[in-house]
Amino acid sequence: MHNEFRYGRWKILCFVFADIVSLLLASILSLWLYLLNKDINYSIKSHFSVIIPMIVIDLAVTFFFSTLRRALRWREKREVYESARHVVFSLVFLGLYLFITKSGPDFSRAIVLLTYGFDYLFLLAFRISLRQIMTRYMKRESTALLMTTNRFADEGIKELKNLGLDVRYLYLLKNNNADKVNDIPVAKDVKEAAAVICWEMIDKVYIYGLDHQMIPEYLMDACNEMRIMLQWVDFNYKVLEIKRIKHQDPKYGALMFLEGERDIPFPIRRVYWITETDAEMYRGSHAHKLNCQLLYCPYGKIDIILDDGKEKTTVTLDRPEKGLLLMPGLWREMVWRDQGSILCVLASEYYDENEYIRDYDEFLAYSRKSGKEEA
Ligand code: TYD
């Protein structure tokens, strides 16, 4: 709850208000029913001396046991359980309070139980209707959270802007503690990102340039619970400038480096390289269904011909610091332009022949079917 309070403050306060109102209504109703049926001299003063601790306990349970967050995140069936949990916790803590302070001796146990029974019903009705009202009237259109890596944050924001989408929050995998990027707040960790999704009424979660295996399960669950679709705003390939450190003294040469999941949007599971090649030699002629790759040529010159099923592009790798990031679903051919050129590949998947497409017609059918979703 504490974490979430930073976000949906008004929403939480609405729920808290609804909780208090339901408890008061429940207490008045139960008192009325009790007095109506029993011809006894009941102490109203004592009744109210217990109602106040009841409300305080109710608020404490609300804040410490995150029931509101759960109430909002889970749908109707869960609400029945969550509201019951809330009421049972409150009942137990009130019992403890009365026992420890030895207060409320004139207060009937029957009324406590009746009050909590009614509280449960009111709570359920209030929470369900409140959430429905909020979802209907307070939801801003196109409130989006963008999930990407540090390296691609700027590009992703730009890309979404071009599509007319407003990014309200960012979740950066492998974040190096940036609070904001381009004035857009960054969720610190996956739990905070899920809290933002729940409380800020985010209605879309976009993913930019990420390999499927980098999307945290926790966030996927949060999206499922909130019935939010994950949408991909993807590129097929990107030419990257690999970081390069040149020594002051030229005889020491230059050093280039790449880090998996930081500079490239996938974990590196496999590395392979191709050597001893003749000029004008062809390799490739396949596409991957899952595998993301980064290609670079530390020595020589190699043309990479890319085909997305609609058009062909050629990227020439002719410098060691030029990297070519390939997302799945692209047909590629490699042509060695200089004899002895070396092609190095960093891959996101272990070798698996089943995720290859080696037949061009099959590739065309596959790319038509799985065409990248437009946001
Ligand atoms: P292949 O993918 O056909 O190479 P290219 O597309 O560059 O022409 O791979 C050639 C052979 O090497 C093939 O029999 C599969 C094997 N191979 C592995 O066993 N592990 C690997 O990681 C790779 C890339 C290939």
Strands 143-149 and 342-347, sheet pairing: unpaired
286 in contact with ligand 1, CB cutoff 6 A: yes
Task: Give the pLDDT confidence score for residue 50 in this predicted structure.
Answer: 84
351 in contact with ligand 1, CB cutoff 6 A: yes
Q: How far is the CA of 258 from the centre of ligand 1 (A)?
A: 23
Residue ID of nearest Cα to ligand 1 atom 25: 351
Q: Residues 123-151, buried b or exposed e (16+ Cβ, 10 A)?
A: bbebbbebbeebeeeeeeeebbbbbbbbb
pLDDT score of 357 more than 90: yes
Query: Looking at the annotation, which residues are catalytic?
Result: 286
What ligand 1 atom has the least distance to the C-alpha of 353? Answer: 15
Ligand 1 binding pocket mutation candidate from 285, 286, 349, 359 (most atoms within 8 A of CB): 286
Task: Give the pLDDT confidence score for residue 356 in this predicted structure.
Answer: 96
β partners of residue 205: 145, 230
Over residues 169-185, mean pLDDT: 86
Residue type, 97: Y
Residue 72: which pLDDT band, with cuts at 50, 70 and 90?
A: low
More confident residue, 86 or 256: 256
Among 18-32, 59-73, 221-235, the minimum mean pLDDT is found in 59-73
Q: How far is the CA of 272 from the centre of ligand 1 (A)?
A: 9
CA–CA separation, 327 vs 306, rounded Å? Answer: 11
pLDDT score of 141 more than 90: no
85 in contact with ligand 1, CB cutoff 6 A: no
pLDDT score of 33 more than 90: no
Task: Give the pLDDT confidence score for residue 373 in this predicted structure.
Answer: 41
Ligand 1 binding pocket mutation candidate from 271, 272, 352 (most atoms within 8 A of CB): 272
Over residues 268-289, mean pLDDT: 95
User: What are residue 250's phi and psi, to 5 degrees?
Assistant: -55, -25
Q: Give SS3 for 289.
A: coil
More confident residue, 307 or 202: 307
Q: What is the pLDDT of residues 41-69, one digit of tens each?
A: 777 777 778 888 899 998 888 877 766 55
269 in contact with ligand 1, CB cutoff 6 A: no
How does DSSP classify residue 174?
T
270 in contact with ligand 1, CB cutoff 6 A: yes
Q: Residues 103-122, buried b or exposed e (16+ Cβ, 10 A)?
A: ebeebbeebbebbbebbbeb
Task: Give the pLDDT confidence score for residue 76 in this predicted structure.
Answer: 53
pLDDT score of 151 more than 60: yes
pLDDT score of 117 more than 70: yes
pLDDT score of 375 more than 50: no
Q: Which of 210, 37, 226 is nearest to 114 (CA)?
A: 37
Instruction: Answer yes or no: pTM beyond 0.75.
Output: no
Q: How far is the CA of 361 from the centre of ligand 1 (A)?
A: 20
CA–CA separation, 261 vs 250, rounded Å? Answer: 31
What ligand 1 atom has the least distance to the C-alpha of 347? Answer: 22
Over residues 158-173, mean pLDDT: 88
CA–CA separation, 126 vs 131, rounded Å? Answer: 8
283 in contact with ligand 1, CB cutoff 6 A: yes
Q: Got the DSSP string for 116-171?
A: HHHHHHHHHHHHHHHHHHHHHHTPPTTEEEEEEEGGGHHHHHHHHHHTT-EEEEEE
